[in-house]
Amino acid sequence: MTMARVGKPAPDFEASAYIVGEGFKNVKLSDYRGQWVVLCFYPGDFTFV
């Protein structure tokens, strides 16, 4: 398994997603090739920060 490292290709993934107005769909990081992407992880929905 290749770990994420700066200066290297970001590991691709596919994940199920909720998109307002669109509903549920699967999203792949590689779908966004050609665009800048900011990927933000956070600990959990309904938490405080």
Partner 1 sequence: MYPKLKELGVEVLSMSTDSRFTHKIWNETELSKMVEGGIPYPMLSDQGGRIGTVYGVYDEAAGVDIRGRFIIDPDGVLQAMEVLTPTVGRNPNELLRQVQAYQHVRSTGGAEVTPSGWTPGETTLKVGPDLVGRVWEVWKP
Residues that bind partner 1 (CB under 8 A): 1-13, 15-20, 24, 27, 29-30, 32-47, 49
The β-bridge relationship of strands 23-28 and 14-19 is antiparallel
The torsion region of residue 23 among left (phi > 0), alpha (psi -120 to 50) and beta comes to left
